[in-house]
Structure 1
Amino acid sequence: MVEFFRLIKAKDVVYECGPGCSCGSKCINRVSQHGLKFQLEVYRTKVKGWAVRSWDLIPAGAPVCEYTGLLRRNAEMDSVHDNDYIFDIDCLHTMHGIDGREKREGDVPVTSGTPEQVDATLRESDTEFCIDAGSCGNVTRFINHSCEPNLFVQCILSSHHDLRLARIVLFAADDIDPMTELTYDYAYRLGSVTDEDGNVKELECHCGTSECRGRLY
C-alpha cells in the first residue's frame, strides 16, 4: 500500500523540515520529499500533444510530482522563444494575488511596507528565477494546462527559506481516477507571451472544460 502525507488545501507557501532538522524521513512535515508514489505515464493526445496520466488512484491532497530542471535567472531566458518548458518561480506574486493569480491563505511576512506598496513593487518586477526543463527535467514538464485542473501548484521551502528559489510541487486537488489526464493551471496573463520580434502571441486553449477561458495566453 502506498503511504504518504497530504496537503488538503493550497497555501501561499509551505515550510518543510530540511537537512538541518533532527527528525527522520518519516516526519509528517516532509510531505513532498518522498519521491514519486504513483505510476505516471506520458502519452500522446489528438490536439494537445503529450500528456500525463496515472495508472493509480490519486487521493486528494497527495503530492504527485515536482517540477524539476535547470535553475536559471529569467534574464538569461529573454532571448529564448521556442522553449515551452519554463516555469517561473512566482511564489511572491502568488502570495499577493498579482497578475491574476489567486491569492492564497497564509501568514508569512515577506517584505516590509503597506499592502499597496508591496503590490506596486511586485507589479513592476518580473520573477527573478525560473526552472528550465527544456533540456532536462522529469515527467512533470509534459503535464498540460487546464482552466479547471485536478492538480494545484505549491511553493515549498525545505533546505532554505529563499522564496525566490522555492521548490515547485504539484498536489492533487481532488481524488483523481486512474487513467485520467493530469492538469494544472499555467496561470498565464493574457498578452504576456511574445515572439522574437516582440509581437504578442496567442494560443488557443483545448482543455475542453466548462470553465475554459478560450486562450492559454
Structure 2
Amino acid sequence: MSLALGGGKMAENLKDCRVCGKSSWSQLQDLCRLAKTSCPALGISRKNLCIFEVDYLCNYKKVREQEYYLVKWRGYPDSENTWEPRRNLRCAGILKQFHRDLEQELFRRSGRRPRVRPPRHLDAALVDFLVQKGRQRKALQRWERELNAKRAHKGRISVENEVDLHGPPQDFTYINEYKMGEGITLSQMATGCECKDCLDDQANGCCPGALLKKFAYNVQGQVRLQAGQPIYECNARCRCSSDCPNRVVQRGISYNLCIFRTANGRGWGVRTLEKIRNHSFVMEYVGEIITSEEAERRGQIYDRQGITYLFDLDYVEDVYTVDAAYYGNVSHFVNHSCSPNLQVYNVFVDNLDERLPRIAFFATRTIWAGEELTFDYNMQVDPIDVESTRMDSNFGLAGLTGSPKKRVRIECKCGTESCRKYLF
C-alpha cells in the first residue's frame, strides 16, 4: 500500500507523491480503533469505530443457559481478551470452526462420538489446545497469503491442517524457478522458431523439429510423448505468442492446489482442488541447483534429519542436483507413492544445457478433485525405442529419471496395493 504525504502548501505541491508503508490496511484500521480515531480514508467512522474483529476464540462456558466465549481480538494483546455472550459475536465461520475443533479433541480423548452440546466448562488442557489451534490457524493463514503473494502462476495455493498442531515449515522460501547455486549458469537458446502456427503450420518442425525431436503436445496441451523423451518448448526468441500450444510448462501451475497435513505420518502433502485431465502438466520440481559433490555433502546432513529433497538431474550425466529443502515451490510437499499419479518429464525452454533440464510433472491418469498428488521417488523408465537418439537412449538406460538421491533405507507409507515397503 502507499501513504499520501500531506500538510498545507507541501501537500499541494506533493499531492501525487507516495511513500511505501509497512503496515497493511487492516493493521492501520486497528490502529485507528486503538486510538479511538475516525478515518474516512481507511473506512473507519463513528458507526464502526467500536466494531472489533475476532482473531480466534480461546475458551467457552455456559452460565444460566447463556453461552460465553473468551475472545482474542485482532490487533490486541492477550491481556485484552474478553468474555463475550454469543449474541455479540458476528463471526459464524470462526464459531463453527471452534466447535469443530472442540468436538474433534473431545472425540480424540474419549474415543466416543462427541456430545451434541459441549460441556458447560472446559478444563485447562482443552483450553490450551484450543488456544494453540487458534494460533496455528492464524499462522497458516498468514503463510497461505505469503505463498500466494510469491507465486507467479495462475493456480492458487491453500493450506490446511486438521491433523495436528504443526504450523508453517521453518526456513522454507517459495520460488517459481530454479535458483542457481554458486558457479552455475544457464546457457540461453541461440535461436527461436518463426512458425505461423506452432502446432498446425510449423516452420522447420518448430523448436523440437529443429533439434530432431517430436512435438510434445496435442491441441489440448496434453503431452503425447513416451515417458523418457525430452520436451522442447518454444523460447524467448520465438516469434509465437504466450498462448502458443508449445508453451505449456513455462506458463506454470494452472490448477488450484492445497498443501495439507497427512493423517498417516507422512507430514505435509499436496492435493488438487479441481479435476486434472490425463497427460496434463501439473507442476515443476524447482529448487536450488547444486553440483553432485555438494549434493553428497548435504545428503549426509539430510540423512540425519530424515528428509529427502535432493533430485538428480541425470538426463545425460549426473552432474547437477536440485535441492528443494529450503527453496522450492508446491512440489516440495508432494509425497512418494509406489503407484503415483504424476510422471516426470525433462523439459527444455530457454536453456539448452542437456545437464540442466527442467523437471515437469504430468498426470498419468485423470486425477479427481480432492485427490492427493504423488510421484515415485525411485521412478524407473523403460528403454526408449531403437529409433530414438543417443541422448534419449542414455536417459532410458540411466534407469533413474531424476529420482531423489538414494541414501538410506526408508520405510514407505504410501499404503498402495503395489507398495514396495521401502522408498529406496
TM superposition score normalised by structure 1: 0.75
| Matched letter for residue 261 of structure 2 | R
Describe how 1:164-203 pairs up with structure 2 within 5 A. 164-187=355-378, 193-194=406-407, 201-203=408-410
Counterpart in the other structure of 1:23? 240
1:109-153 alpha-carbon deviations (Å, 9 max, x no partner): xxxxxxxxxxxxx6xxxx110111111111101101111110001
Q: Is 1:91–2:282 an aligned residue pair?
A: no
Equivalent residue for 1:6, pick from 188, 208, 222: 222
8 Å CA contact retained: 2:259, 2:333: yes
Are the aligned partners of 1:7 and 1:31 in contact in 2 as well (CA < 8 Å)? no
- Give secondary structure in 1 for the equivalent of 2:344: strand
Q: Deviations over 1:133-179 (max 9, x none)?
A: 11111110110111111000110011122221000011111000111
In 1, are the aligned partners of 2:259 and 2:271 still within 8 Å (CA)? yes
Q: CA deviation at 1:61?
A: 1.2
Structure 1 residue 77: Cα displacement: 2.0
Larger Rg: 2
SS at match of 1:147: coil
CA distance in 2, matches of 1:7, 1:74: 30
Code of the residue aligned with 1:86 in structure 2: it is L
2:287–2:327 CA contact under 8 A, matched in 1: yes
Question: Contact 1:152–1:184 (CA<8 Å) still a contact in 2?
Answer: yes
Cα separation, partners in 2 of 1:17 and 1:28, compared to 1, 3 Å: same
Distance in 2 (alpha carbons) for counterparts of 1:79 and 1:154: 27
Match of 1:207 among 390, 406, 414: 414
Matching of residue 159 in structure 1 with residue 350 in structure 2? yes
Deviation, structure 1 residue 29 = 1.0
State the SS of the aligned residue for 1:91. coil
The residue aligned with 2:279 is 61
Runs of 4+ in 1 over 4 A off after TM superposition: none
Cross-structure match for 1:43: 260
> Quick one: which amino acid aligns to residue 207 of structure 1?
C
Q: How many Å separate the matches in 2 of 1:4 and 1:133?
A: 30
Residue identity matched to 1:157 = F
What letter matches 2:314 in structure 1? Answer: D
Separation in structure 2 between the aligned mates of residue 36 and residue 4 of structure 1, nearest angstrom: 15
Name the SS for the 1:162 alignment partner: coil
Q: Distance in 2 between matches of 1:216 and 1:146?
A: 9
1:4–1:31: 8 Å Cα contact kept in structure 2?
Answer: no
2:321 corresponds to: 130
Q: Quick check: 1:8–1:60 contact (8 Å CA) kept in 2? A: no
User: What is the count of residue pairs matched by the alignment?
Assistant: 175
| In 2: Cα distance, 1:140 partner to 1:128 partner | 22
Give how far 1:213 is off. Answer: 1.2
Cross-structure match for 2:292? 74
Distance 1:166 1:128 in 2: 12
In structure 1, distance between residues paired with 2:270 and 2:220: 21
**Aligned amino acid, residue 418 of structure 2:** E
Give the fraction of aligned pairs with identical amino acids, expressed as a percent.
37
Residues 97-136 of structure 1 aligned to structure 2 (within 5 Å): 127-136=318-327
Compared CA separation, residues 4 and 139, structure 1 to 2 (3 A): farther
The letter of the residue matching 1:34 is R
TM-score (norm 2): 0.39
Secondary structure in 2 matching 1:77: helix
d(CA) in 2 for partners of 1:35, 1:12: 20
Read off the aligned partner of 1:88 and give its amino acid letter. Answer: D
More helix by share: 2
**Cα deviation, residue 4, structure 1:** 6.1
2:267 aligned partner, one-letter code: G
Aligned-pair CA distance for 1:193:
3.5
Matched residue type, 1:62: S
Look up the equivalent residue of 1:23 and give its one-letter code. Answer: C
CA distance in 1 between partners of 2:338 and 2:368 (Å): 19
Shift of 1:52: 0.4
CA distance in 1, matches of 2:229, 2:327: 27
Q: What is the root-mean-square deviation of aligned Cα atoms in Å?
A: 2.0
Deviation at 1:11, TM superposition (A): 4.0
Greater RCO (Cα-Cα under 8 Å, separation 6 or more): 1
